[in-house]
Amino acid sequence: MRIRTAAMVIEVCLRLSAAEPPALPEIDLSSIQAPYRKLVEQALAQAQTGMNDADAVSELCNTLLAVNQAEDAASCYRRARALDSGEFRWGYYLAVALEQVGRRPEAVELLLEIKSAAGSYAPYYVRLGDLLREQGRTKESETELDRAVEMQPDFASAHLALGKLQSEQERWTDAISSLEKAVALDTNYAAARYALGLAYRKTGETEKAKLAFERYQRLKQTEQPSFDPLMDAISALRSESGLDDTRALTPDQKRVFVEELERSLAVHPELLSAHVNLIALYFQLGDPAKAKQHYDKAISIDPKSAGAHYNWGSIEMTKGNYAAAEKAYALALESYPRHVGALVRSGLLLEKRGLGDEAEQRYRAALEANPMQRQAHYLLARRLVGEGDFAGAAQHLEETVRIEDELTPRYLRALASTYLRMGRLEQARSSLEQAEQQARTLGHEDVASAARADMERLPQ
């Protein structure tokens, strides 16, 4: 009887062990570029605090994917999927991470596994079709790509993928038709121009091929269109952090980063991303003339560079040149309407001009692009407090205090004030206690004293 009982206990333990979600990855922070290290540290701290919260874990996964740590991102997404198996995004992002580390067969099988949850999301079918083509599964590939085109006839990426498949099958008439549709839908699509040039060359249309390749050479250095909103959300994490996170570096770290970027430019003078980063770094190091040189160079390479316009707009805003800043942010948003940083900062400028409703629209658009953008939550909460919507404001402020850093005590004070307006006295007191404790730990005695004074004014 005892042997049987012991065996049953062992079996139960094994089942529980098998059901345990995969652990969070062990992240080597030294392998992450300095400007993005703090972003990862914050997301990691949040994930460790909410180990069984799929949203907290997935924010770490998304951050890792955004900063090119695909192997760790893949491990992380496995935990997120175990915590919330019904969420399509975690499976999709895991497939992207597997694709990036070269494990394409696994990515295909995973995409097929989550197909029922993909619904009408056309980029899913394009990604799956492309990967199937690479594996030689051409019939299945064509089925998926045809489905993407049928779902979204104006989807340039689907026409390109279909054209590449048709080119491999030497169906040149079909291929040229698909590729011409792709470039007609997006005239700045470098990859489609190149594929079309190859198809023209194969059919002996040398003049058309020459023109396509010339256009490709001009376009390949420019920021390319994105056709995957889910991946846009990942890119937003990186693009919005670049300028702001360089401010967290020490001057010596900034100089080292500048040297790395200048070495890259010595080899590749047209490297747009290096010029974009140097705009911010040189300004922060007290050399606005060099910052302007790199801005001018960046927009000569790509006049529609959202990153360059955003960084320059932030410099103009810092200098108090609000009209120039607003113009630069408008150019950034014209190129990339989901640029979170530009949405938030242009919203601030709209508020300065008394255009509160328009500013609120910008903050909401920023949160639609990146639901974890703390400043957008805070600014929107401030607007809602002014409108008397304290419950709505509290919801947004609660999002700002999920991460513990130097800004959190200030956000906690704002949250406490909102709780007090709602009559939630104990929650207000708790928030102020946290604010004081965190501020003292950080050495911010002014904030700690302000939180203590707020507590002393609370009704007894």
Span 420-447, pLDDT tens digits: 999 999 999 999 999 999 998 888 899 9
- Output the CA torsion 237→242→248→254 (10° steps): 150
**CATH of region 119-234:** 1.25.40.10
Q: Say whether 423 sits in a helix, a strand or coil.
A: coil
271: pLDDT strictly greater than 90: no
Quickly name the fold that domain 386-460 has: 1.25.40
DSSP code string of 276-291: HHHHHHHHHTT-HHHH
The yes-or-no verdict on residue 14 having pLDDT over 70 is no
Q: pLDDT-based confidence at 248, cuts 50/70/90?
A: low
pLDDT of residue 299: 93
> Coil, helix or strand for 358?
helix
Secondary element (H or E) of residue 446: helix 445-456
Q: What is the pLDDT of residue 7?
A: 47
Tell me the CA distances in angstroms from 315 to 273, 319, 325, one per residue in order.
Answer: 17, 6, 8
Distance CA 321, CA 323 (A): 6
Q: HSE of 184 in the Cβ direction (CA atoms, 13 Å)? A: 9
How many whole angstroms separate alpha carbon 308 and alpha carbon 311? 5
Intrachain domains 119-234 and 386-460 with the same fold: yes
Tell me the C-alpha to C-alpha distance, in Å, between residue 414 and each of 2, 59, 134, 400, 427.
60, 24, 53, 10, 12
- For CA atoms 212, 217, 219, 223, the dihedral sign is positive
The pLDDT, as a whole number, for residue 350 is: 97
Mean pLDDT along residues 405-415: 91
Of 310, 364, 299, 315, the residue nearest 341 (C-alpha): 310
User: Which DSSP symbol is given to 188?
Assistant: T
CA distances from 128 to 62, 143, 187, 229 (A): 20, 10, 25, 16
Is pLDDT at 367 greater than 50 in this prediction?
A: yes
- E strands of 165-266, at which residues? none
- Judge whether residue 341 has pLDDT over 50: yes
Residue 274 pLDDT class (50, 70, 90 cuts): confident
Question: pLDDT (tens digit, 9 = 90+) per residue, 37-61?
Answer: 877 887 888 888 888 888 889 989 9
DSSP summary character for residue 30? G
pLDDT at 254: 82
158 token code pair? 């689907």
Spatial contact of 203 and 234, defined as CB atoms under 8 Å apart: no
152-206 confidence digits (pLDDT tens): 999 999 999 999 999 999 999 999 999 999 999 999 899 999 999 999 999 999 9
At 386, the pLDDT band (50, 70, 90 cuts) reads very high
Tell me what the pLDDT averaged over the chain comes to: 88
Q: Residue 404 — left, alpha, or beta (φ > 0 → left; ψ -120 to 50 → alpha)? A: beta
For residue 89, what are the CA distances in angstroms to 100, 323, 435? 16, 39, 34
Residue 246: predicted pLDDT: 66
- Nearest-5° angle of CA 160, CA 165, CA 169? 140
Which two structure tokens, joined as six digits, stand for 441?
């730990």
Cα(101)–Cα(294) distance, integer angstroms:
33
Domain made up of 20-116: CATH architecture: Alpha Horseshoe (1.25)
Model confidence pLDDT, tens digit, residues 78-134 = 999 999 988 999 999 999 999 998 899 999 999 999 999 999 999 999 999 999 999
What's the confidence (pLDDT) of residue 415? 97
Q: Quick check: 8 pLDDT over 50?
A: no
Identify the CA nearest to 24 among candidates 1, 47, 55. Answer: 47
Residue 453: strand, helix, or coil: helix
pLDDT number for residue 16: 39
The span from the CA of 393 to the CA of 117, in Å, is: 33
Give the CA distances from residue 258 to residues 36, 261, 277, 434, in Å, rounded to whole numbers and listed in that order: 15, 5, 9, 38
Q: Is the pLDDT of residue 5 over 70?
A: no
Kindly indicate the confidence band of residue 239, based on its pLDDT and cuts at 50, 70 and 90: low
The larger pLDDT score, comparing residue 387 to residue 223, is at 387
Domain locations along the chain: 20-116, 119-234, 386-460
